[in-house]
Structure 1
Amino acid sequence: MPDRPGDHYSLRRRLLLVILGTSIALWMAGLSIVAQIGWRETNAVFDDALKESGYLIMAATTDWNERGLHADRSANAGAERKLEIHYQIVVDGKVVQRTAGAPAIPYIASFRKKKGFANVVVDGRKLRVFVTRSADQRSMVQVGQDYEKRYDILLELAEHLAFPAAALLLLLGLASWFFIRRATRPISDTATRIAQKSRDDLTLLDDAGQPAELLPIIDAVNGMLGRLDAAMQAERRFTADAAHELRTPMAGVQMHVQLLQRQHPGLAGSLQKLRQDVERSTSLVDSLLALARLDPIASHDLVRSSVPLAPLLEDTVRAHQEAAAQRGATIGVDCGIDALFVNPDMLRVVLRNLVDNALRYGGPGCKITIRARWLEDTARLSVSDDGPGVSADDRERLTERFFRVLGSGQGGSGLGLSIVKRIVELHGGSLQFCAGPDGRGLAVAIDLPAAAASEI
């Protein structure tokens, strides 16, 4: 992959640095909290040891008489309840002095070292025992403490740390979520930009300022957009060129058919059918050329102006008056909108196609109405007839290119409503099909948003 400008960055590196930085900061905060709690608990443990030593000395001076025998303890019951460290003085393997909580036999009968710690079990209780021997090795002092006291300290420490640890974990999760969401925002932004692409917008995605991890995806999408644009441009050029090249020979064929009709009156019927086919082919070529010109246009490139609507509708009626008279049809206008901010030429194409369709498929003697009304902030243009109409299933396909309703008995290219739909889309509007007046015939409604509609 070619080198990129220096404004790109690594998404992985950012995530790593953010998570590591957040974790270190929170770890240091947690360490500070643990140190404070540990310091407090350590002071408490040493304070308890000092108190126990005081109780131990008190027991050593009150629990024994001058002969080293166990004395009456009733007067010191309160002190005994507080005593959690017990000792034994062992001489020649026998206990000669002990606190009341210590057993009558040595905690450890044989201890080879001069001093040290050992773990023993007495009456089902685990004790930690410290042993120190005299210089002549005859006597030794054994001091024992129940492990339960140590477990209590650990439990108390855990209880004090539980809430801060949970809070720090929650903070870590929230901080990681926030920063990762910010770091990965270019991914969602790029996905949104791709999703907003339409068939009219095949411009390449800008990769400036994007993370390095997204560049292969952007390159792939841009490559696809470039190929798609080239293919569509080639198709449009082919359609436009073919339609343009066909117009001249089709016009020549039509002139020759007219000449043959005059020269051979006996073939008038066949030549008239040929002339109708040529006219239909010419109409198809014109429609293809119109679509080829409309497809590349983007909505923001459309030239618009404020167009007085009533005169435009009257012009449309006059242009179709002869065709309507031949079919015994009538065309009425009901205009409730002063002006529209649209492209006037395209609006004429829309009205011409809709009225042509209504005359063609409405049947002899049909009544056609062109109506313009405001629906809140939307301008609605509609062309309706009271003819045989179109089934609900066929209405859904009316804007498909080259689709024609079967059994209508009418010719046509099947492109008129496709052209109408494209022009309406360029104006940001929508196209709807429904039943005509009193449920008869077909009504084609065009809704244009307030941005495309304005009253004078």
Structure 2
Amino acid sequence: MPLIERLNRLFTRLEASMQKERRFTADAAHELRTPVAAIKAQAQVARAACGEAERNHALDNAILGCDRAAHLIEQLLTLARIDTLGNDVTEACQLRVIAAEVIAAIAPAALSQHVRLELTEGAEVEVRCNPVLLRILLRNLIDNAVRHTQPETSVWVSITHQQGLACLSVNDNGPGIPEAELARVSERFYRPIGTSASGSGLGLSIVNRIAEIHGASLRIAPQISGAGLSVTVVFKL
């Protein structure tokens, strides 16, 4: 009986996993159809346009649709390779060094959207991690914050440690997320109601999966000031 029970539990987990993957595939197909349909519509508008201004406007919208599709595909590929990269999370990594590298790489794109990136002062903190995955995690957190914060404001990264825990936080000045939706924002393809910024709906899902691989936890909360959002990854030292 114990063997049969274990087999039944295994089959149940496998079935749940397969259902989850089927839902993900269906959701991904739906998400990809949306920008592709938009690109086709704008191309048709451009072809039928009578004036240069109308044609250029439609072409600009088509390019934006291509950018959205490319971002979604990149996120889907990232999700697909996370688990293969997560076999080794034992390298000693300095959080501030990695944060500074990621910020330097993203800063030009953020500045083009009139958003400044900052790394707050503090002591270096070392954790055991996979540095490739950690960079992906931080890049997604910062990218998500830049997309939702207000222009002419800052997104700041802070790194602290206390009581055997290391905290990596990314903070913004955006509209925040209603408390009732906080528990769902790390679900794949989930976008909070009223979200106007473009995005794949996969960023926080990627972050959450990488945190799980590292035995870390994800905390999402409003800023203490009441404006914006703070997303913190908590590592055990």
Q: TM-score under structure 2 normalisation?
A: 0.79
Determine if contact 1:358/1:384 at 8 Å carries over to the other structure: yes
| Structure 1 residues 402 and 215: alpha-carbon distance in aligned structure 2, compared to 1, 3 A threshold | closer
The match for 2:72 is 284
Say yes or no: does 1:313 pair with 2:99. Answer: yes
Q: Larger C-alpha radius of gyration, 1 or 2?
A: 1
Partner of 1:320, secondary structure, is helix
| Structure 1 residues 226 and 381: alpha-carbon distance in aligned structure 2, compared to 1, 3 A threshold | closer
- Whichever residue aligns with residue 230 of structure 2, its letter is A
Partner of 2:221, secondary structure, is strand
Deviations 1:254-280 (A, max 9, x none): xxx8xx9xxx96422111111111211
Unpaired runs of 5+ residues, structure 1, are: 1-212, 451-456
The match for 1:374 is 161
Counterpart CA distance in 1 for 2:3 and 2:95 is 50
| Structure 1 residues 221 and 390: alpha-carbon distance in aligned structure 2, compared to 1, 3 A threshold | closer
Counterpart CA distance in 2 for 1:353 and 1:234 is 22
Deviations 1:253-309 (A, max 9, x none): 9xxx8xx9xxx9642211111111121112112212222233x5596x334311232
Counterpart CA distance in 1 for 2:138 and 2:179 is 23
The match for 1:397 is 184
Say yes or no: does 1:423 pair with 2:210. Answer: yes
- Aligned-residue offset at 1:232: 6.6
Q: Which has the higher contact order (CA 8 A, sep 6+)?
A: 2
Counterpart CA distance in 1 for 2:81 and 2:161 is 30
| Structure 1 residues 219 and 376: alpha-carbon distance in aligned structure 2, compared to 1, 3 A threshold | closer
- Aligned-residue offset at 1:378: 0.2
Counterpart CA distance in 2 for 1:286 and 1:277 is 14
Deviations 1:359-380 (A, max 9, x none): 1101211221100000210000
- Aligned-residue offset at 1:233: 10
1:57-76 aligned within 5 A: none
Determine if contact 2:89/2:128 at 8 Å carries over to the other structure: no
- Aligned-residue offset at 1:219: 4.1
* Aligned with 1:293 (options 72, 81, 98): 81
* Aligned with 1:349 (options 132, 136, 139): 136
| Structure 1 residues 312 and 432: alpha-carbon distance in aligned structure 2, compared to 1, 3 A threshold | same
The match for 2:145 is 358
Counterpart CA distance in 2 for 1:216 and 1:354 is 44
Q: TM-score under structure 1 normalisation?
A: 0.43
Counterpart CA distance in 1 for 2:227 and 2:16 is 43
Partner of 2:117, secondary structure, is strand
Counterpart CA distance in 1 for 2:208 and 2:126 is 21
Give the superposed CA RMSD.
Answer: 3.0
Deviations 1:186-222 (A, max 9, x none): xxxxxxxxxxxxxxxxxxxxxxxxxxx4343344344
The match for 1:414 is 201
Partner of 1:434, secondary structure, is strand
Counterpart CA distance in 1 for 2:71 and 2:175 is 24
Partner of 1:396, secondary structure, is helix
Determine if contact 1:332/1:369 at 8 Å carries over to the other structure: yes
Counterpart CA distance in 1 for 2:12 and 2:171 is 43
| Structure 1 residues 366 and 305: alpha-carbon distance in aligned structure 2, compared to 1, 3 A threshold | same
Determine if contact 1:304/1:344 at 8 Å carries over to the other structure: no
Partner of 2:181, secondary structure, is helix
Identity %: 31
Counterpart CA distance in 2 for 1:439 and 1:233 is 35
Partner of 1:302, secondary structure, is coil
Partner of 1:406, secondary structure, is coil
Deviations 1:374-424 (A, max 9, x none): 021000000001232222112222111111123232111101000000000
| Structure 1 residues 215 and 396: alpha-carbon distance in aligned structure 2, compared to 1, 3 A threshold | closer
Partner of 2:184, secondary structure, is coil
Counterpart CA distance in 2 for 1:449 and 1:414 is 27
* Aligned with 2:219 (options 403, 420, 432): 432
Deviations 1:32-70 (A, max 9, x none): xxxxxxxxxxxxxxxxxxxxxxxxxxxxxxxxxxxxxxx
Determine if contact 2:220/2:230 at 8 Å carries over to the other structure: yes
Determine if contact 2:125/2:159 at 8 Å carries over to the other structure: no
Determine if contact 2:125/2:161 at 8 Å carries over to the other structure: no
Tell me the matched-pair count: 217
Determine if contact 1:366/1:387 at 8 Å carries over to the other structure: no
Say yes or no: does 1:449 pair with 2:214. Answer: no
